[in-house]
Every structure is written in C-alpha cells, then in structure tokens.
C-alpha cells in the first residue's frame, strides 16, 4: 500500500489517455521509483531508470534543474 497513490495516478492517466502507456511515462516512472525506494518491503529490485527505458525522462529532469539554477 505504500505506493498505491502512485499506482492510482498511473491508472488514472491510463484511463484518461485511452490506455496509451506512452502518454503516462512520467506517472509510470514515479510509480516504479516508489517501488524501488521501498526495497525494505521487497517490492521491486533496484534498477537504474535508464535500464527500464526512462533515460529520456531523466535527461529532461536534469535539463529542467539546470535551467532553474
């Protein structure tokens, strides 16, 4: 239940996008990050997000931080 809010946001995004998963990649990444961060509960092994197909989103986050600085 620790990541249920992230899961619900992801599922809501899917419903609103007609189940187009590409439109919900930010939500999917946040959900997976939550699961990996709570490794104590053995929810998911920690994997680099780049390896899970989110390299472009990570680069966007880095660029946004650089622009705000």
Domain that holds residue 59: 3-64
Residue 45 within any structural domain of the chain: yes
Q: Closest Cα partner for 6 from 37, 36, 27?
A: 27
Residue 19 within any structural domain of the chain: yes
Kindly give the confidence (pLDDT) of every residue in the chain, 69 residues in length, as a single tens digit, with 9 standing for 90 and above.
Answer: 788 999 999 999 999 999 999 999 999 999 988 888 876 556 677 788 888 888 888 876 655 666 666
pTM of the complete model beyond 0.85? no
Q: How far apart are CA 37 and CA 46, in angstroms?
A: 8
Residue 69 within any structural domain of the chain: no
Q: How many structural domains is the chain composed of? A: 1
Would you give the DSSP letter of residue 44?
S
Helices 55-68 and 25-37: crossing angle in degrees, nearest 10, is 90
Residue 31 within any structural domain of the chain: yes
Helices 4-16 and 25-37: crossing angle in degrees, nearest 10, is 170
Helical residues (DSSP H) of 1-69, grouped into ranges? 4-16, 25-37, 55-68
């Amino acid at each position: 239940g620790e990541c249920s809010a992230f899961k619900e946001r992801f599922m809501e995004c899917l419903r609103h996008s007609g189940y187009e998963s590409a439109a919900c990649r930010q939500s999917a990444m946040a959900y997976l990050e939550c699961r990996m961060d709570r490794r104590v509960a053995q929810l998911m092994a920690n994997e680099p997000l780049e390896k899970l197909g989110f390299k472009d989103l990570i680069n966007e986050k880095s660029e946004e931080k650089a622009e705000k600085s």
